[in-house]
Amino acid sequence: MDLSLSISKYIDHTNLKPYATYKDIEKLCEEAKEFSFYGICVNPFYVKFVSDILKKTDIKVISVVGFPLGENKLKTKLIEASTAVNDGANELDIVWNIGAFKSGDYSYVEEELKTIIYYTQNITHKIIVETAYLTEKEKEIAVNIVINSGAEFIKTSTGFAEEGAKLEDIKLFKKIAKDKIKIKAAGGIKDYKTAIEMIKAGASRIGTSHGVKIVENIER
């Protein structure tokens, strides 16, 4: 088995830096084509740009919504999400309302997600819960809210918090979800060893800006 190609298909090749340029994003796309990454994850501004570059490939175009804090009003998130889909996004990585969740307003958080998903059907939705801010009990609640929302994935992190994906969180999500949703591990995944550990623990997707380094390390 070609190990580099195998792990490439788990990777959402990512550049969400606030100073990313057209040239940087074009390079991201070329790397995705060279290494056969599953998808490209970019900020909404670049979705149409990326979609045009990748239109003759099977590489998925992924946009973030409510990034990176999740504190936008629902109407704002809906406009952002629907615009991204119209621009060519195949998948949305949605930052849920972290403040509302931490306040215990679980019904609002769930309804917000259901509404966004309802108005952007026929694509894949990943919900970013930002595990760095959650207690163990809240992580359990988070999994159930994401399941109830109808999303396909729960995602650990934006990469902007003090901590990203942790192996124990992937294991916990896998245990609670019982295959009702998939898991995307993101935040701080910079090498092959960490990536493969996440996959073995239950992650179906890896979000990283270090995809090339991960694959090249295998090849060496």
Q: Which long-range contacts (CB under 8 A, 24 or more apart) does 51-57 make?
A: 51/87, 51/88, 51/89, 52/88, 53/26, 53/29, 54/29, 55/88, 57/32, 57/33
Q: Token pair of 50, please?
A: 């990326």
For residue 91 the two structure tokens come to 């998948």
Q: In this structure, what DSSP letter does residue 174 have?
A: H
Burial class of residue 198, CB neighbours in 10 A (0-12, 13-18, 19+) = buried
- H-helix or E-strand spanning residue 178: none
CA 25 to chain CA centroid, Å, is 17
Map residue 56 onto helix, strand or coil: coil
CA gap 22, 24 in Å, rounded: 5
What angle, 0 to 180 degrees and rounded to 10, lies between the N-to-C axes of helices 211-219 and 22-35?
A: 30
Catalytic residues: 93, 155, 184
